[in-house]
Amino acid sequence: MEQEFIKPPVEVRYREELEALKNTDTGNKPESWQMSPKAVRTFILGSSKPVVYAGKEYHIEKKYFGNDALVERCIVTLAGNRGLMLVGEPGTAKTMLSELLSAAISGVSTNTIQGTAGTTEDMIKYSWNYALLLAKGPSREALVPSPLYIGMEKGILTRFEEITRTPAEIQDSLISVLSDKVLNVPELGDSGFLFARPGFNVIGTANTRDKGVNEMSSALKRRFNFETVMPVREAAMEKQIIMNEVNKLAAESHIAVEADEDVAEILASTYHELREGVSSYGHRIDKPSSVMSTAEAVSVYYQAMITGYYYGDGTLSMDSLVQNLVGAVSKENKDDLEKVKGYFNTVIRDKSSKEGGLWKEYYEARKWLR
């Protein structure tokens, strides 16, 4: 019986798609990549034509909804052996994109450093099994490899999440590795040089809201190509993302409920208008300071969905949707709740009177905005 996970890694979730693409790939592959840049692009951005492998058709779904040209540039950067840095607002799918790239290129997306204020150089490069170190002295057997070491040794990608959350001196430990593709382990003497195998590279992510927390040095910045991941600009695309992600979450949790397109449209419209500061009717809106990201919208919808599944009749109520919206908006700044109230008392009021139906229910649920 196949083992189940709460959140399967990308290479497990899309195992069949990856196998089909690898075995039908005729493009030019960089050394040690498991598929060509063309196939990597197809895996991430989908294909209108099915891939036929072993007598079966595989429909490659679009997994990243955003700037297709950005994805192509990311793939080319990694093919050129230059580090890739994805920057942008929280919730803009930087992590998801790095996971997709790693799974398609290296076959593994879990070789990851999670940047925090407490991240040390040992967590990035290597540490020691001190029992073996005392018993046998410095040796490869006593060395405990960390993600960067593993990436160099195996020739796979290393993901560095939230790099600007780590102290500057820890960040700078990457400089020589990215420049010379070699890691020195002084304790091993003359044999302590680990030269990176083909296929190794680093994908970093950084939130623009963390700018100035631990600003990257100019020397480190020069080792990366920077790509800015922008929030979704189209409400229709945001609706599609919400539906796709919520349905995936429901399937992973064995919840037999599907996302409602009309509810997803209302939530996507809310997040889009609050983020942009203008409604589809031309109202000017006070933008909340909180992150109005698509990822937050997915979370709000999913929480409302499972509330209806476990406590209600299996349907999503607008009361629950607004309650979860309140929690999401006010977690960083409670003053933002007043801006959302103003949005409901103008934009949603007008949509309620013109559209009726669910918009009216949504407007009536404003009682939870307190």
Model confidence at 60, in pLDDT bands (50, 70, 90)?
A: very high
Name the DSSP class of 256: -
- Range with lowest mean pLDDT among 28-37, 277-286, 296-305: 277-286
Contact yes or no for 47/60 (Cβ under 8 A): yes
Strands in 20-64 per DSSP E = 51-53, 56-58
Between CA 320 and CA 323 the distance in angstroms is 5
Distance CA 81, CA 26 (A): 21
pLDDT of residue 145: 96
pLDDT at 284 exceeding the cut of 70: yes
Cα–Cα distance between 40 and 34 in angstroms, integer? 9
Q: Is 32 exposed, middle or buried (0-12, 13-18, 19+ CB in 10 A)?
A: middle
Q: Which tens digits make up the pLDDT trace of 96-144?
A: 999 999 999 999 999 999 999 999 999 999 999 999 999 989 999 999 9
What the block records as the tokens of 100 is 């997709």
> Of 247, 139, 115, nearest to 187 (Cα)?
139
Pairing of strands 56-58, 51-53: antiparallel
- pLDDT for 233 equals 85
User: Quick check: 297 and 271 in contact, CB under 8 A?
Assistant: yes
CA distances from 213 to 30, 168, 293 (A): 36, 9, 21
Percent residues over pLDDT 90 in the chain: 79
Average pLDDT over residues 165-179: 92
Average pLDDT of the chain? 92
Overall average pLDDT of the 352-359 stretch: 94
Furthest CA-CA distance within the chain: 78
Start-to-end C-alpha separation, the chain: 49
Which residue reads 């960040």 in tokens? 171
Q: List phi, psi (to 5°) of 213.
A: -65, -60
Give the pLDDT of residue 3.
58
* CA contacts within 13 A on the Cβ side of 318: 19
Whether 199 and 40 have beta carbons less than 8 Å apart is answered as no
Residues in contact with 57: Cβ distance below 8 Å, sequence separation at least 6, in sequence order:
50, 51
Instruction: Pick from 100-104, 167-171, 334-338 the range whose average pLDDT is largest.
Output: 100-104
Q: How confident is the model at residue 213 (pLDDT cuts 50, 70, 90)?
A: low
Across-strand partners of 128?
Answer: 143
Report how far residue 89's alpha carbon sits from residue 101's, in angstroms, rounded to the nearest whole number: 20
| Contact yes or no for 184/232 (Cβ under 8 A) | no
Per the CB < 8 A criterion, the answer to whether 40 and 101 are in contact is yes
For residue range 313-332, list pLDDT tens digits in order. 888 999 999 999 999 888 87
Which tokens hold the place of 111?
Answer: 């070789």
More confident residue, 24 or 136: 24
